[in-house]
Amino acid sequence: FAVIFAIGTRASQLAADLLQRQSILQRLQAIVATASDAETGQRGYLLTGDEKYLAPYASALSDVRSRISVLEKAATEGFIAPQEVEKIDRLISAKFSELAQTIELKKQHRDQEALAILRGGQGKQLMDEIRDACDQLVAAEEVRINNDLSETIKDGKIRLWLYAGGLVINVLFLGW
């Protein structure tokens, strides 16, 4: 029973880790989507000059910070390497700085300067780097999730056999 309890405790911890890892996957995917939404808002505003296009950008500003903080918490708990979160944070900050710069130039009616920054390709390069960094972490987390699932299944089978063995021993004892 002590072994069954230990395996059950381990299975419970693996299940909690699985939930945390799935949450990390969702946060990473949401960070890419949020940066993309902000970029879409910026481009809409640069093309039209209509500030209603800045709504996704404004929303993304607050959303991305909360998503990064969740990743930082996961890094302190040992689920992600802190340097990976720092890298994503640095890239996101650079991307939002580039977005803010072009938006501000457009507000000052310096359209050509804003478009020159856009054409320079730094924003696209930053988005590509954000996607790559997040995709690498997603791939690593998927491997860990698969490993945890395998361990959970293995532990379940061991517990099943231990319960079955205990049942057989009890039936034999009662029959004796």
Q: Tens of pLDDT along 66-112?
A: 999 999 999 999 889 999 999 999 999 999 999 999 999 999 999 99
Q: Tens of pLDDT along 42-75?
A: 999 999 999 999 999 999 988 998 999 999 999 9
pTM for the predicted model, two decimal places:
0.81
Whole-angstrom Cα distance, residue 67 to residue 24? 9
Token duo for residue 112 = 């050509």
Q: Which residues of 19-39 are buried (b: 16+ CB within 10 A; e: fewer)?
A: ebbeebbebbebbbebbbbbb
